[in-house]
Structure 1
Amino acid sequence: MDQITAESPRIKKFKKDLVDSIPRFPNNKATLQALEQMRLVDLLITFLGWRVRLVGQRPRRVTRAQALRHDPRAQALAPNIEAFLNSVTAGEDLTPYLSLSARSEGFTIPDKNHPKGLWADKDFLLNAMGFHHFHLGLTLEPGGHCKRTNEVLFALVRRDEFEIIGLFTHDAFERNVQGKMTSERRRLWSTFERRLAEGVLPGQMYIGGMAGMGISGSGIPIAVVETAFHYIRQIKWYEENLRNFEFAKTLYSEGNIPAKSKFKWGIDHLDLVLLDEGAGQLVRIAKGLN
């Protein structure tokens, strides 16, 4: 159920587009071949596992702003935070506020000897907690990113909601020389656990991680894995039915049906879509995580 046994030209093109989209490091023949040799489901998991580090461009309502109310650092950065949250509610591109690695470190071949181990191409705090973090600089650097700030804003980003978790320094990502959590990292974990326990009954079991589904042994959020398998099932069903042009015609807008269907698979941020660029048609098959 999780695999497409006979790959159509449309599937082969989709796999190539996914491979070309994922930032590889190092960008060499070995990383390229590793992606090219993946099954479609594994390639989707890899793509979505990277892409979820970015944020879909759409307006969102800001919630839990009170989390910043009594933080003196938030008061000192008030103009920066206001400008950033205005971008959030206006639906502007938030990529410049994200860490640089979110854009450049999409896939590397797993290597236990790497300094970061199997987490080299993953955002540990995002996968473990479901929280994105954003820099708050007011000016754009030549590379297209906002000026880096030591303070970063952690938030739980849904498709239509931006829930503020709090303001933390970069020490939240670090351990001290003894290998123990820094005080800022402990504060972040404490905030995460406190939020996770909200509304939970005594003795009730709950799981952290993205969408509250935990993470797999490979470090990929279960939510990402489940999304990839759902997309595979959708692709399989549509591939079988797209052979019938009478079915394909039902996907086009009225009065905009071409003589021949030329749909191709694509990912619009995290959403699975079918596109016919010649007919100017996009069909959103399934929605992603943010």
Structure 2
Amino acid sequence: MKAELAAKPLDRVLVHYLTWVDRLIAPRPRNVIFSEDFWKTPMPDDVLGAVYTLHRKAVAGDDLSPYLSRFSRTHGYTGSPEERRKAPSWADGGKGDKDFAVHVYETHHLHLVPMNENLRRKGQSDDLLFVNINRTQMRFLMMGKHRSFDSAELRTSVAKARKEDGWVIKGINPDTRSEQNLGKMYRLGINSVASVEGEAVMMGIMSSGGTSFLYTRQADRIMIFLENWDQKLDNVEGRKEFAAKARIPASYLRDFTWGFWYGDFCVVNSGGEVACLIPWSR
């Protein structure tokens, strides 16, 4: 599999990496907000306690990896077409290398019970917390189950949140007759709009293969950066120019290499100093 990736153009390797790493959640302190409908359904005390724990961890910037799906550790680039992993079939061909909710809805799900080092959960339940994430904020969207991924409830919750975030397409009257087919369309990798209070809301920005436009755009930004600066940084004057424009100490460019911290594209020097050059949206 490493040989297959090594043979691919760099921009495609970057897309494969971002496709996987966006299943994770970078540990940053975030303000937590709740969707309008989050508290409309009563919750048992144990669920309330778990929600409080996740709220506290999100605000503190703690590592939420134990609460993610174990597939985030095992399902990534699958290589040749013969490779298959157990996962619901959709636009990715059923290979299991893409998280449906993350790609289509930009929505992560958290388990209420953390994993141990063997990727097992003691007291595993079917309860899931669906969240929207950016670099400074986490929205607790809704409580659901594993069957919620294809539910109208999740689509509606996401659509309302995206309308609140400004993802409204002006000048379009949505056809509410197609609402019942939206789930099937998204599973086929077909972009469409949802109707929220008579307005058209864009739900996902993905290719027919299920790859989010956000990943290809981030890869393009990195490639453009490398084309503009990679050779210039081979000499002292180029490094000085770049350090001034990037507003980083010149020492960061001494014996440096490129690297990632989750989706952030960074420069890392031999002393372990790191500067983020192209931030990821989450």
Instruction: Name the TM-score, length of structure 1 as normaliser.
Output: 0.74
Q: Deviations over 1:205-250 (max 9, x none)?
A: 54222xxxx1012211001110101111112222022022133246
Deviation, structure 1 residue 103: 1.4
Task: Return the alpha-carbon distance in structure 2 between the equivalents of residues 234 and 34 of structure 1.
Answer: 25
Task: Return the alpha-carbon distance in structure 2 between the equivalents of residues 246 and 107 of structure 1.
Answer: 39
Deviation, structure 1 residue 143: 2.2
Match of 2:118 among 136, 140, 143: 143
Give the % identical residues: 23
Counterpart amino acid of 2:138?
A: F
- Asked which structure has the greater RCO (Cα within 8 Å, sep 6+), the reply is 1
Contact 1:156 / 1:162 at 8 angstroms: preserved in 2?
yes
Match of 1:59 among 20, 29, 34: 29
SS of the aligned residue for 1:121 comes to coil
Change (3 A) 1:52 1:253: closer
Match of 2:260 among 258, 267, 270: 267
The residue that corresponds to 1:71 in the other structure is 41
The residue that corresponds to 1:243 in the other structure is 234
Contact 2:29 / 2:136 at 8 angstroms: preserved in 1?
yes
Q: Deviations over 1:108-139 (max 9, x none)?
A: 036389573255200011101010000011x6
Query: Structure 1: where are the runs of 5+ without partners?
Result: 1-30, 174-180
Change (3 A) 1:190 1:229: same
Task: Return the alpha-carbon distance in structure 2 between the equivalents of residues 197 and 281 of structure 1.
Answer: 40
Q: Deviations over 1:181-201 (max 9, x none)?
A: 5xxx22212222333344645
Change (3 A) 1:101 1:125: same
Contact 1:110 / 1:118 at 8 angstroms: preserved in 2?
no
Task: Return the alpha-carbon distance in structure 2 between the equivalents of residues 76 and 281 of structure 1.
Answer: 43
Deviation, structure 1 residue 64: 1.7
Query: Structure 2: where are the runs of 5+ without partners?
Result: 173-198
Deviation, structure 1 residue 275: 0.9
Contact 1:112 / 1:118 at 8 angstroms: preserved in 2?
no
The residue that corresponds to 1:10 in the other structure is none
Task: Return the alpha-carbon distance in structure 2 between the equivalents of residues 186 and 257 of structure 1.
Answer: 53
The residue that corresponds to 2:175 in the other structure is none
Change (3 A) 1:248 1:146: farther
Aligned residues: 242
SS of the aligned residue for 1:62 comes to strand
Task: Return the alpha-carbon distance in structure 2 between the equivalents of residues 193 and 33 of structure 1.
Answer: 41
1:41 has 2:34 as partner:
no
Contact 1:135 / 1:151 at 8 angstroms: preserved in 2?
yes
Q: CA RMSD in A?
A: 2.7
Contact 2:264 / 2:279 at 8 angstroms: preserved in 1?
yes
The residue that corresponds to 1:195 in the other structure is 161
Change (3 A) 1:53 1:217: same
Task: Return the alpha-carbon distance in structure 2 between the equivalents of residues 244 and 90 of structure 1.
Answer: 41
The residue that corresponds to 2:207 in the other structure is 216
In terms of mean alpha carbon deviation, does 122-131 or 194-203 score higher? 194-203
Change (3 A) 1:109 1:133: same
Match of 2:72 among 72, 96, 102: 102
Task: Return the alpha-carbon distance in structure 2 between the equivalents of residues 102 and 86 of structure 1.
Answer: 22
SS of the aligned residue for 1:63 comes to strand
* 1:79-228 paired onto structure 2 within 5 Å: 79-109=49-79, 111=81, 114=84, 116=89, 117-137=93-113, 140-143=115-118, 147=122, 148-173=124-149, 185-198=151-164, 200=168, 203=172, 206-209=201-204, 214-228=205-219
SS of the aligned residue for 1:108 comes to coil
Instruction: Name the TM-score, length of structure 2 as normaliser.
Output: 0.76
Contact 2:265 / 2:276 at 8 angstroms: preserved in 1?
yes
The residue that corresponds to 1:8 in the other structure is none
SS of the aligned residue for 1:103 comes to helix
In terms of mean alpha carbon deviation, does 74-83 or 38-47 score higher? 74-83
